[in-house]
Structure 1
């Protein structure tokens, strides 16, 4: 896939003009977009969550809207609403923030549960319903949501049903000293002004379609299914991986193969995506939490119980 390789490399190169030293994070977000999924960026304020989201919209050549979630944001701000038009003597639909390609849902856990739940239909179905009329959102449609860690002032924990709608959940983390020096030296101008669009909506849709066609060996399907079963049977886990989580793992595995220029998936693709895809879908048992077992530790122990598949490269 030489043409796709060059395009994907150009996208990453352009993004790295804005985001310094976080290539792994950029790759995982791009994989999720190639897989047609939504992204949840969970981290402290000031590490570049919003900048990353805006950079992706610009480099991918997509329409984007940003909605800063606060306690007074209403569901209609997302879905849109009907307003009476005097001249036409009828109610007309006014678009909400969801009518775009990339919706940046900034600090999603600062708003009310009612507003958070308004994202569910649009994230899952790709449509909004206002006054019993259902309207499709533009394609592609991707939600990049950011949230501050639970316990921060003014935050409300996202319900499991909504967290499960995100294909991946990642953290950015602090930069290294050298990376932070480079960031400080570049503060004289906004780096977002110096990047260009590499793709457009139609080209991204074509890449997403090719990602779906990546070959996945039966042994990889079996591995994901056994891993999901292991999470459901673990005494440290109250709620294991659902079939939606298993599907997400396969989609991200295909996307990683696409990112690295292969038309088939390998076991190392699975290993690389397991944590951002599956970990946020696990709910730990209260006893395990009381015994100070971290989710990282529990997940790592479960993964070790299921042997990796061995496949012959095509």
Structure 2
């Protein structure tokens, strides 16, 4: 996935950009399947649980099951538009104390007594990138601590591997992440919980205390 190539019969094929991989997992039984190794799990940006649809949605599915076909679907975006959206997300600003916050949340998982393998640096990068995209969806050009809290489960949970004892006790990755959020203080810009910006600038606004440095905008 990270190499953005697909190898078939020993021949490597480059894939177009943007490129993504979506994998499905059966939450009930594992017969005939193999658990992904830690290195591959770490390469997935997020893991989401879809669950069952609501009654109203399921009825709509039944109504349309015999009337719709994949050929009738229309594209709602093209690769150029998606590329522009990616570029916009890359311009979203993260204050330095929030970078420190993301690292400390990951460190809390690594030091947790019931965790065998905690969140890797790749996972921290994933959290900050996802937070930028989430802030953009919310109509902001800067990330707030709440963005990281909202995304902590989807981004971190599949990267947290529990000890055998923790699994026997019924501990979950969500429990570990809740502990991490309780232990790690939410930072204040240029405050004691996070380092100031390297050039000493203060952050504007309200809630723009987490916004762009003075005189700089994310676009």
Q: State the distance in 2 between where 1:189 and 1:167 align.
A: 34
| Residues 251 and 176 of structure 1: CA distance in aligned 2, closer, same or farther (over 3 Å) | same
Supply the distance in 2 between the matched residues of 1:153 and 1:306 (Cα, whole angstroms): 39
Residues 176 and 128 from structure 1, CA distance in 2 versus in 1: closer, same or farther, beyond 3 angstroms? Answer: closer
Equivalent in 67, 75, 79 of residue 189 of structure 1: 67
Asked if 1:255 corresponds to 2:106, the answer is no
Matches within 5 A, 1:233-248: 233-248=111-126
> In 1, distance between residues paired with 2:107 and 2:30?
34
Structure 1 stretch 195-204 or stretch 185-194: which is displaced more?
Answer: 185-194
Classify the secondary structure of the residue corresponding to 1:222.
helix
Q: CA deviation at 1:175?
A: 1.6
Q: 1:218 aligns with which of 96, 108, 111?
A: 96
Q: Tell me how far 1:188 sits from its aligned partner.
A: 3.1
Mapped pair 1:167 → 2:48: no
Task: Report whether the alignment pairs 1:281 with 2:153.
Answer: no
In 2: Cα distance, 1:249 partner to 1:137 partner: 25
Map of 1:23-62 to 2, 5 A cutoff?
none
Superposed CA RMSD: 2.2
Distance (Å, rounded) in 2 between the aligned partners of 1:211 and 1:133 = 34
Partner of 1:153: 31
For 2:181 and 2:142, the matched residues in 1 are separated by 22
Alignment of 1:191-210 (within 5 A): 192=70, 195-210=73-88
Q: Is the contact made by 2:109 and 2:176 (CA closer than 8 Å) also made in structure 1?
A: no
TM-score by length of 2: 0.79
Segments of 5+ residues of structure 2 without an aligned counterpart are: 190-206, 212-219
Q: TM-score, normalised by structure 1?
A: 0.56
Q: Distance in 1 between matches of 2:105 and 2:7?
A: 37
**Distance of aligned partners of 1:188 and 1:310 in 2 relative to their CA distance in 1, 3 Å threshold:** farther
2:150 corresponds, among 243, 265, 272, to 272
Structure 1's unaligned 5+ residue stretches are: 1-122
- Bigger proportion of residues as strand: 1
Kindly report which structure 2 residues correspond to 1:68-87, keeping only aligned pairs within 5 A, or say none: none
Shift of 1:136: 2.6
